[in-house]
Amino acid sequence: MALLEIHDLRAAYGHVPILHKIDMHVEQGEFVGVLGHNGMGKTTLLRAIMGFVTTKGGRIVYQDQEIQRLPTYRRARMGMSLVPQGREIFPNLTVLENLTVGILGKKGSLDRIDEMLEYFPRLRPLLDRRGGALSGGEQQILAIARCLCNHPSLILLDEPTEGVQPSIIHEISEVLQKLQGQQNLTIVLVEQNLEFIVGLASRIYTISRGVLDTEIPIDEIKDSAMVAEYLGFGA
């Protein structure tokens, strides 16, 4: 059963159309990638799914419920979580406070933070640091950890490797794989980093000029040259 289904979705910034007739489905426990160049609508797609870009038509069905008219916070409460491009952690809150804010309600909050620190031990010695004082990579890890604090069932990751050092990209990749395996998370990853997305996703959509135009077959995903050909990266 699909956890997320998108039918004929259209979105625009004002009068400028960005997404055209997007059709997409994500099964429970799947790791789906969306690959595309800059300005093709990847970020807008995630924002439309989360509800802070106004959609101009189409349907978004999550857990068998139409959500395209729901406000962002209601979608988040249903278990959807977005880690936005550029991290957007709260720079004046400490790492611990950033994680605490990530938990709606108080029940079991410290246990959940401890659990996250097991996955991301790099954050443990930084708990008292202001978010703004962390490196770009540490901020990215914090953003992912904070998003996980609230037990999401669907995670939308917007270019988590952008501007992040290779060692941290590797760490993020390992943790995402571990989390997906252990907690049966459903993840939609939007990326330009071919190697990163190919290493994680079990299925990839490509997006071009606001249209999801290709779904790359699973057996071809591991062949980076083939994926590059779909996108024209290798040309």
Partner 1 sequence: MLSNISKDWLGVGFVTAIGLAVLIFVPMLFDLFEVLQMTKYVVLSLFALSLAYIWGFGGILSFGQAGFFGLGGYTFAVSAINMGQTTIPFLMAIAMCALFAAALGYFMFYGRLNDVYLGVVTLVVTLILWKLINHTAGPEFIIGKARLGGFNGVPSIPIMTLPWQPDMEMEPSQMFQYFMAILIIVYLLLHFLIKSKFGRVAISIRENEIRTSLLGYDVRLYKLWIFTIGGAIGGAAGAMWATYQTFIDPNAFSLEVSAKCLIWVMAGGVGTLFGPIVGVIALEYLSLKLGETSFLNNLIILGTILMFLVLLLPKGLFPTFRDLVIKLWQRARGGTSGERPS
Q: Under the rule (CB under 8 A), what is the footprint of partner 1?
A: 50, 52, 71-73, 76-77, 81-82, 84, 88, 90-94, 96-97, 100-102, 104, 106, 127-130, 133-134, 146, 150
Q: How far is the CB of 141 from partner 1 (least distance, A)?
A: 16
Q: Which of 200, 100, 118, 112 is nearest to 160 (CA)?
A: 200
Which residue, 15 or 106, has its beta carbon nearer to partner 1?
106
Q: How far is the CB of 62 from partner 1 (least distance, A)?
A: 14
66 CB neighbour count, 10 Å cutoff: 12
Which residue, 118 or 219, has its beta carbon nearer to partner 1?
118
How many Å apart are CA 189 and CA 132, to the nearest integer? 25
How many Å apart are CA 103 and CA 111, to the nearest integer? 11
Give the CA distances from residue 213 to residues 19, 34, 69, 155, 219, in Å, rounded to whole numbers and listed in that order. Answer: 12, 11, 26, 22, 18
Which residue, 9 or 148, has its beta carbon nearer to partner 1?
148
Q: How far is the CB of 189 from partner 1 (least distance, A)?
A: 17
Q: Which two tokens stand for residue 123?
A: 């954050």
Which residue, 68 or 206, has its beta carbon nearer to partner 1?
68
Q: Which of 174, 175, 205, 178 is nearest to 189 (CA)?
A: 205
How many Å apart are CA 94 and CA 74, to the nearest integer? 26
Which residue, 150 or 224, has its beta carbon nearer to partner 1?
150
Q: Is the dihedral of CA 202, 70, 21, 42 positive or negative?
A: negative
Q: How far is the CB of 212 from partner 1 (least distance, A)?
A: 23
Which residue, 96 or 179, has its beta carbon nearer to partner 1?
96
How many Å apart are CA 219 and CA 44, to the nearest integer? 28
Local structure of residue 94 (DSSP, 8 states) = B
Q: How far is the CB of 84 from partner 1 (least distance, A)?
A: 7
Q: How far is the CB of 132 from partner 1 (least distance, A)?
A: 8
